[in-house]
């Protein structure tokens, strides 16, 4: 699975909402007759309050927060909270009520889109924060849980100046408190019979972290960060010693605390099963799906759409096989002629303008993950840059679990997904086209991940390969992805047990199905943003092509697709409808 990881521990907080990640730009947008100045002031006030409420958000998204009116004296340096705290909930309520005071018709079109998306996110957050859902989350999930997220957060932590070192040490020293909060939350789940996690996998991750702490990527990367500040040798050595001491006294011992805490809770851990097996779990799953996809499509509607897609894809594959039986075998040996991983991104960079708007040059750092940063199920990720970043974009790929064969089609797709014309390209597009900083933080993972999945297949058209074999490869890929969505629904919405699951999907290997069931049960809805997001984008593209026929233009369509940013699909569709009408 290709996955972008945001270096924010607040992604683990079960009450995370628009309030905790939607700052705005202090600079005013270009003059407009209908621009509402009061709304611009609201957005500016929004960024200050949100950033000052959470240091991890502030540090990751702003290199120079003072330029945005943020007063560091009002910021408490912590990793945040596992459960929604009263201060954050009060701030969210305040900002939500302020938003409601604006007359939408008084805003210009860009402000209206921001207004609509903020309102959408506030409403989603209100639903998720209902008390009946409070203890249904999993802070130990194998793909995004506490053990993995701490490693990702600190190994990718940026030190931009000497003044950043003291807050970093404070954050490391806060890991024991944060770990205790996670275990306290789990104990409350145990009391309510809602503690459900992959115990063996989680314990193994924690133990591996302890066993490799001397060579940990966290330690190594933070040492490099200190060195790159260019301080004198005495200062560099001093700071390295302080960081190493904090890691040895706070960070790594917390993994033993996790092991001990989960061992104590082991008798209360429920067997891995779908969310529907828990009280209010089915309704909670519906909310997770809505959040992941950025749509109001019901789960039965999603299932119906995907089943119809699978039927159509199966028919297309049959036609290709009828034309040439060799297609069934030859597509599996499809490969490229690249001699290095770096060559792939260079090639993508020189060919993307065939289908996507031309952008300014992108500088990037492409590196494989260290073993202790690698997670099975995570193929690669792109690090979202700070709003005012002057650094290179960063892409990391999982060489340990998925290899680095430059001729593999899958690796080519991975770098298209994370790099060009995927996440990195989208970040550069946003940088060149957004007006308000808040637009960078509006969140619809269904669009951002669905778009990056969409470009994997579009980028295959850049290669000089047999079109029929490429089509077979794409159809096979789509079938696998869409079946994952049906499996996710079967586990969490239909409450299918393992035996029934294996019987229902008996076209797949039985042993593999056991692993898939465990992964899906432990990470509900985690693939929805990728594959249903792709489905929604692909439907918009097919509709545009059908209506415009020879007037359809790849570059113009993709420009319309990207122009709204990462917002819900109702807003994306408005832009595509406008593009269609303009072309007509």
CA distance 369 to 72: 33
- HEC string for 117-185: HHHHHHHHHHHHCCHHHCCCCCCCCCCCCHHHHHHHHHHCCCCCCHHHHHHHHHHHHCHHHHHHHHHHH
SS3 380: strand
- 3-state percent breakdown (helix, strand, coil) of the chain, nearest 5: 65, 5, 30
CA distance 24 to 7: 19
CA distance 376 to 261: 24
Instruction: State the Cα torsion 264-265-268-270 to the nearest 10°.
Output: -130
| Residues 436, 363 share a domain | yes
CA distance 252 to 256: 7
Domain termination site, one of 270, 291, 317 = 270
Q: Is residue 542 part of a domain?
A: no
Q: Is residue 76 part of a domain?
A: yes
Domain termination site, one of 129, 160, 187 = 129
| Residues 81, 40 share a domain | yes
Other CB atoms within a 10 A radius of the CB of residue 162 amount to: 13
Q: Is the dihedral of CA 185, 190, 192, 196 positive or negative?
A: positive
Tell me how far CA of residue 392 lies from CA of 8, 59, 386, 414, 440, in angstroms. Answer: 19, 17, 11, 19, 17
| Pair of tokens at residue 87 | 């201060």
Q: Phi-psi category of 27—alpha, beta or left, where left has phi over 0 and alpha has psi -120 to 50?
A: beta
Q: Is residue 55 part of a domain?
A: yes
Instruction: State the Cα torsion 238-239-244-250 to the nearest 10°.
Output: 120
pLDDT at 535: 98
CA distance 186 to 544: 48
CA distance 26 to 51: 13
Tell me how far CA of residue 297 lies from CA of 289, 303, 453, 569, in angstroms. Answer: 9, 10, 20, 10
Identify the residue whose tokens are 């209908």.
34
| Residues 566, 426 share a domain | yes
CB 77 within 8 A of CB 54: no
| Residues 445, 325 share a domain | no
Q: Is residue 140 part of a domain?
A: no
| Residues 359, 259 share a domain | no
Q: Is residue 161 part of a domain?
A: yes
Quote the strand ranges of 345-474, DSSP E. 364-368, 380-383, 393-397
Q: Is residue 66 part of a domain?
A: yes
| Residues 326, 397 share a domain | no
Q: How many domains does the chain have?
A: 4
Q: Is residue 248 part of a domain?
A: yes
CA distance 132 to 280: 7
CA distance 318 to 308: 16
Q: Is residue 1 part of a domain?
A: no
Identify the residue whose tokens are 């122009």.
563
Other CB atoms within a 10 A radius of the CB of residue 315 amount to: 10
Collect all residues with Cβ–Cβ distance below 8 Å to 78 and sequence separation of at least 6.
55, 170, 171, 174, 177, 178
Q: Phi-psi category of 436—alpha, beta or left, where left has phi over 0 and alpha has psi -120 to 50?
A: beta
pLDDT at 437: 84
| Residues 160, 84 share a domain | no
Domain termination site, one of 63, 96, 129 = 129
- HEC string for 60-128: HHCCCHHHHCCCHHHCCCCCCCCCCCHHHHHHHHHHHHHHHCCCHHHCCHHHHHHHHHHHHHHHHHHHH
Collect all residues with Cβ–Cβ distance below 8 Å to 489 and sequence separation of at least 6.
299, 302, 303
Tens-level pLDDT at each residue, the chain (584 residues)? 343 322 222 222 222 223 333 333 333 334 444 789 999 999 989 988 999 999 998 998 899 999 999 999 889 999 999 998 899 999 999 999 999 999 999 999 999 999 999 999 999 999 999 999 999 999 999 998 999 999 999 999 999 999 999 999 999 999 999 999 999 999 999 999 999 999 999 999 999 999 999 999 999 999 999 999 999 999 999 999 999 999 999 999 999 999 999 999 999 999 999 999 999 999 999 999 999 999 999 999 999 999 999 999 999 999 999 988 888 888 889 999 999 999 999 999 999 999 999 999 999 999 887 776 776 667 887 888 999 998 899 998 888 877 789 999 999 999 999 999 999 999 999 999 999 988 988 989 999 999 999 999 999 999 999 999 999 999 999 999 999 999 999 999 999 999 999 999 999 999 999 999 999 999 999 999 999 999 999 999 999 999 999 999 999 999 999 999 999 999 999 999 999 999 98
| Residues 485, 379 share a domain | no
CA distance 74 to 249: 28
- The domain in which residue 355 lies consists of 341-464+553-583
| Residues 260, 169 share a domain | yes
Identify the residue whose tokens are 């997670």.
375
| Residues 447, 564 share a domain | yes
SS3 310: helix
| Residues 460, 349 share a domain | yes
| Residues 240, 388 share a domain | no
pLDDT at 44: 87
Helix (H) or strand (E) holding 516, with range, is: helix 510-522
């Amino acid at each position: 699975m290709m996955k972008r990881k945001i270096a924010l521990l607040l992604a683990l907080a079960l009450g995370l909402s628009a309030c905790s990640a939607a700052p705005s730009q202090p600079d005013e947008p270009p003059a407009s007759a209908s621009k509402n100045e009061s709304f611009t002031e609201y957005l500016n006030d929004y960024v200050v309050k949100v950033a000052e409420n959470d240091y991890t958000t502030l540090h990751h998204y702003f290199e120079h927060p003072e330029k945005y009116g943020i007063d560091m004296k009002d910021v408490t340096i912590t990793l945040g909270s596992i459960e929604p705290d009263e201060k954050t909930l009060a701030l969210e309520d305040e900002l939500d009520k302020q938003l409601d005071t604006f007359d939408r018709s008084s805003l210009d079109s860009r402000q209206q889109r921001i207004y609509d998306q903020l309102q959408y996110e506030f409403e989603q957050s209100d639903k998720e924060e209902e008390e009946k859902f409070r203890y249904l989350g999993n802070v130990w999930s194998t793909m995004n849980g506490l053990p993995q997220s701490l490693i990702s957060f600190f190994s990718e932590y940026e030190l931009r100046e000497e003044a950043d070192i003291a807050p970093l040490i404070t954050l490391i020293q806060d890991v024991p408190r944060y770990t205790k909060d996670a275990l306290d939350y789990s104990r409350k789940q145990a009391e309510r019979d809602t503690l459900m996690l992959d115990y063996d996998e989680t314990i193994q991750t924690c133990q591996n972290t302890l066993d490799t702490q001397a060579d940990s990527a966290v330690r190594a990367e933070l040492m490099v960060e200190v060195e790159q500040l260019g301080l004198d040798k005495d200062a560099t050595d001093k700071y390295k010693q302080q960081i190493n001491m904090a890691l040895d006294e706070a960070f790594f011992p917390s993994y033993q605390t996790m092991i001990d805490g989960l061992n104590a809770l082991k008798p209360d851990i429920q067997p891995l099963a779908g969310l529907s097996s828990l009280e209010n779990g089915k309704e909670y799953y519906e909310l997770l799906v809505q959040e992941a996809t950025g749509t109001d499509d019901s789960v039965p509607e999603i299932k119906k759409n995907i089943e119809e897609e699978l039927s159509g894809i199966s028919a297309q594959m049959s036609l290709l096989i009828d034309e040439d039986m060799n297609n069934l075998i030859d597509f599996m040996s499809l490969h490229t002629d690249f001699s290095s991983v770096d060559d792939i991104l260079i090639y993508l960079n020189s060919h993307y303008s065939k289908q996507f708007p031309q952008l300014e040059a992108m500088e990037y750092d492409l590196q494989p993950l260290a073993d202790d940063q690698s997670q099975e199920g995570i193929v690669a990720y792109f690090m979202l840059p700070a709003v005012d970043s002057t650094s290179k974009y960063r892409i990391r790929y999982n060489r340990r679990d998925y290899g680095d064969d430059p001729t593999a089609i899958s690796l080519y797709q991975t770098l298209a997904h994370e790099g060009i014309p995927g996440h990195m390209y989208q970040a550069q597009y946003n940088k060149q086209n957004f007006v308000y900083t808040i637009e960078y933080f509006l969140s619809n993972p269904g669009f951002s991940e669905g778009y990056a999945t969409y470009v994997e297949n579009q980028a295959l058209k850049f290669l000089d390969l047999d079109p029929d074999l490429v089509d077979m490869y794409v159809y096979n890929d789509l079938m696998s992805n869409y079946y994952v969505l049906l499996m996710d629904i079967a586990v969490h919405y239909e409450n299918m047990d393992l035996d029934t699951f294996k019987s229902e999907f008996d076209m797949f290997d039985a042993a593999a199905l056991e692993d898939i069931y465990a992964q899906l049960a432990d990470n509900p809805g985690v693939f929805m943003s990728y594959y249903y997001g792709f489905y929604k984008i692909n439907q918009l593209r097919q509709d545009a092509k059908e209506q415009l026929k020879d007037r359809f233009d790849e570059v113009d369509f993709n420009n319309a697709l990207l122009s709204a940013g990462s917002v819900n699909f109702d807003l994306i569709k408005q832009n595509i409808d406008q593009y269609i009408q303009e072309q007509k």
